[in-house]
Amino acid sequence: MAQYTRVSGSVGLITLQNPPVNALSAAVRLGIGEAVQRALGDQEVQSVVICGQNGLFCGGADIREFGKEMTGPPLVPMIHAIEAATKPVVAAIEGSALGGGLELALGCHYRISHCKARLGLPEVTLGLLPAAGGTQRLPRLIGVPAALNLITTGHHVTAAEALQLGIVDQVTEHNAVDVAVKFALSVTGKPLHDRRVSSLECPAAPDLDSLFEEAMLKVRVACVQAVRAAATLPYARGMEREKALMATLFGSGQARALQYFFFAQRAVGRWSTPGGARWDTSQPRPVRTAAVIGLGTMGRGITVALAQAGLSVVAVETQAKQLTEARKAVAGMLKRAAVRRGTTPEPGSITYSDQLQAAARADLVIEAVFEDMEVKETLFRQLSAVCRPDALLCTNTSSLDVDHLASQTRHPHLVLGMHFFAPAQAMKLLEVVYGARSSPTAVATAMQLGKTMGKVSVAVGNCRGFAGNRMLKRYLEQAFFLLEEGATPEGVDRALEEFGFAMGVFRMSDLSGLDVGWRVRKAEGLAQSGLTGPSARVRQGRRYSPLGDLLCEHQRFGQKSGRGWYQYEPDPWLHRFLEEYRARHGLLPRRIDQQEVLERCLFVLINEGFQILEDRIVAGPEDIDAIYVLGYGWPRHRGGPMFYAHMVGLERVAQRLEHYHQAHPEVPYLQPCGLLRRLVASGSPPIHRWRRAIAGPHSQL
Ligand code: 3H9
């Protein structure tokens, strides 16, 4: 909808009304078109201002309409009509002008922006391009290099940057609508021919060809082609090109995955637990002071993330040397972040101590000490004695039992996992792990704190490895089995990297350090040295690969020791080692193609994802996808493992798993889990219907 009023005697004010972001839905497009006609036909009106209600100009096209049949008037002719108007039209930009919202503003003759507004063309992040004239008008307005940069990265700019670039005409600290109305009165009757961006010549840039060639190498080809059309063709032909390119993108799998992920990231905020706690019925408690216990790599990152979120932080480390080093490291991280943002580091929000007692007054405590149950048990008992009785006690464990830690305290309902990902100050993902006794308020508080830190928080039930690491275990296991059967680390990594992972599984393990998993496997009784014969490759009655353990026994811990799955200097050791290992265990190497690598590694991970859904560890597939894209490097343009399964087809995933299970009956996780089989039997419903299908006693399966 769009509301039309007349203000200050002669200004027609059009207000976009579609909460929460005034997206350009069919009704809004219709409303704007009608309001523009009214304003232009109103004899009393000399100029027009377009704004959005509730301090937000417009978040762009309504993404929920994509993929559905188009209804309502199209955007492009509507923007043309605004630009062609003979009365000046001024955009009053507050909050955001993104995508189609900015394209609408570019169709106006003037743009006034509030100083806190952000502007951008983020379509590329949804697998699209700005197809309401954005690729044609922006280069004409600000030149090809700057426009190419904004369109191909999707980056938002601040109002000050937009002014500098020439996107907006004026920036104000006051109410942008009031300023725009005054401005509209001042430009009444002025000629408009040089204010219509589509009629401007694209500013000349030196060596345009090499600029486009270079951009082609780095970015989305369609965006570059569309901007090239702006630089080389008349406006009308450029618009045809923009439309044709958009049509090729619109139905692509990438665009569908990126749009799905846009909503998935937001859906995880509407969390629920099997116990009935929900985001909309649970009130978070305010957290003003947080304590971090243990200032190793994770503790330091968490301290920085909390301080940057404006909390007062008490950072506790009992080892003097570590405390001194941490203090320096944290100050360095804050300084670097401030330089990046062009601000000065916030002073005085962190106090350091070598005494646990310093955490006594904190609203919430996050422990990030060594990953060892005994150490953590003792700490939780001490915290329970030292801290306020209403303090939330959180553990940053990546795998240990949250319920067990809760049982060490006086108030188990206030104990939770807050599983950060390294580097904690930068990674977007936070797993909030609730135990059997965690209260809804505790969950809501940790979820809210994650949001305050700029993270996407996902509520996850307590189980070994929670959601992310539990799935990762199956993926790693298959990668090891593939090596046993004849694959090489290079071959497996190549397949995964071509799929879209920034790093294959072995390169990733080398980076994070092989000794970490080895320590965990030793504690679980899985890593045992000196075993020979068939028992060397079996644990707890199932196939087990000791390859990771053997590498550690050879002091190959990954990049930190100069060697892991890869040698960082010429060294044929690993291939010889694998050959000897296969010969010792009577394994005949075979050629393993990329398809098998992907299916074995990814489908087993997806299968575990279905099991996690069935176990009600998370509430829906979006939770798993958010975890995998934001925490485990799953390529965003593939939407996440569960969305990928939906795209591939559940029947195919189940069939291929069955096929591999028959070939490897000693690997039970290759057998399609119950939920996957039931979904296939019920006709493979689309992903947005899985939640309903899983939902307990009312299950439709
Ligand atoms: C486009 O414009 C194509 C054009 O070139 C035209 C081609 C012909 N549509 O993020 P939030 C929902 S493509 C529908 O939490 P914030 C969102 O799902 C579009 N819904 O708020 C959430 O719903 P829920 C290019 C949208 O204040 C709620 O609004 N534009 C849209 O943190 C609140 O969202 C973009 O890519 C939308 N366009 O941030 C901009 N946008 O409450 C996408 C949001 O049910 N939007 N929703 O979970 C954003 O970046 C942020 O939402 C914004 C506000 C910065 C605007």
In a domain, 593, yes or no: no
Distance CA 610, CA 674 (A): 8
Q: Which of 195, 228, 251 is the last residue of a domain?
A: 251
227 shares its domain with 321 = no
The Å distance, Cα 302 to ligand 1 centre, comes to 29
In a domain, 273, yes or no: no
Beta bridge partners, 50, equal 14, 91
The pLDDT of 171-198, averaged and rounded, is 96
395 lines ligand 1 (CB under 6 A): no
The answer to whether the peptide bond before residue 20 is cis (omega within 30 degrees of 0) is: yes
Residue whose Cα lies nearest atom 41 of ligand 1: it is 59
CA angle 371, 377, 378 (to 5 degrees): 110
Confidence of residue 698 (pLDDT cuts 50, 70, 90): very low
Provide the CB-side half-sphere exposure for 544 (13 A, CA).
21
132 lines ligand 1 (CB under 6 A): yes
354 shares its domain with 429 = yes
Q: Which of 464, 499, 527 is the last residue of a domain?
A: 464
Examine the pLDDT at 701 and tell me if it is beyond 70: no
414 shares its domain with 510 = no
Burial class (CB in 10 A: 0-12, 13-18, 19+), 544: buried
The Å distance, Cα 96 to ligand 1 centre, comes to 10
Domain containing residue 354: CATH number: 3.40.50.720
419 shares its domain with 482 = no
99 lines ligand 1 (CB under 6 A): yes
Query: Residue-wise over 1-18: b if at least 16 C-beta within 10 A, else e?
Result: bbebeeeeebbbbbbbeb
Residue whose Cα lies nearest atom 42 of ligand 1: it is 266
Domain containing residue 667: CATH number: 1.10.1040.10
* pLDDT tens per residue across span 43-52: 999 999 999 9
Burial class (CB in 10 A: 0-12, 13-18, 19+), 376: buried
Distance CA 369, CA 395 (A): 9
620 shares its domain with 546 = no
230 shares its domain with 358 = no
Contact 690, 680 (CB under 8 A): no
Find tokens 């399964």 and name the residue: 645
In a domain, 494, yes or no: yes
Q: Which amino acid is at 306?
A: L
190 shares its domain with 114 = yes
Beta bridge partners, 457, equal 430
Q: Which amino acid is at 232?
A: T
Distance CA 277, CA 274 (A): 7
514 shares its domain with 618 = no
Interstrand relation of 156-158 and 289-293 (parallel, antiparallel or unpaired): unpaired
pLDDT at residue number 345? 66
- Best residue among 21, 56, 106, 242 to mutate for probing ligand 1's pocket (most ligand atoms within 8 Å of CB) is 21
The Å distance, Cα 60 to ligand 1 centre, comes to 7
- Select which of 83, 123, 608, 622 is catalytic: 123
Q: Give the chain's mean pLDDT.
A: 93
* pLDDT tens per residue across span 410-449: 999 999 999 999 899 999 999 999 999 999 999 999 999 9
pLDDT at residue number 212? 77
Examine the pLDDT at 697 and tell me if it is beyond 60: no
In a domain, 491, yes or no: yes
- Best residue among 63, 156, 220, 248 to mutate for probing ligand 1's pocket (most ligand atoms within 8 Å of CB) is 63
Counting from 1 in the atom list of ligand 1, the atom nearest the Cα of 63 is 9
In a domain, 100, yes or no: yes
95 lines ligand 1 (CB under 6 A): no
Does the interface ipTM go beyond 0.85?
Answer: yes
How many separate domains does the chain show?
Answer: 4
Q: Which of 585, 614, 638 is the last residue of a domain?
A: 585
307 shares its domain with 429 = yes
Counting from 1 in the atom list of ligand 1, the atom nearest the Cα of 62 is 9
* pLDDT tens per residue across span 323-362: 999 999 999 999 998 888 777 766 569 999 999 999 999 9
Note the residue count of the chain: 701
Structure tokens at 489: 């680390």
Host domain of residue 607: 598-695
Contact 409, 383 (CB under 8 A): yes
Domain containing residue 111: CATH number: 3.90.226.10
460 shares its domain with 524 = no
366 lines ligand 1 (CB under 6 A): no
The Å distance, Cα 95 to ligand 1 centre, comes to 12
564 shares its domain with 605 = no
In a domain, 67, yes or no: yes
Interstrand relation of 429-434 and 415-420 (parallel, antiparallel or unpaired): antiparallel
> Which pTM value belongs to this model?
0.87
**Dihedral of the alpha carbons of 13, 17, 23, 25, in degrees to the nearest 10:** -100
The Å distance, Cα 21 to ligand 1 centre, comes to 6
In a domain, 548, yes or no: yes
Structure tokens at 338: 């401030």
The Å distance, Cα 246 to ligand 1 centre, comes to 19
393 shares its domain with 473 = no
- Does 123 qualify as catalytic in the annotation? yes
In a domain, 381, yes or no: yes
Distance CA 32, CA 260 (A): 28
Contact 191, 135 (CB under 8 A): no
Q: What is the DSSP letter of 344?
A: -
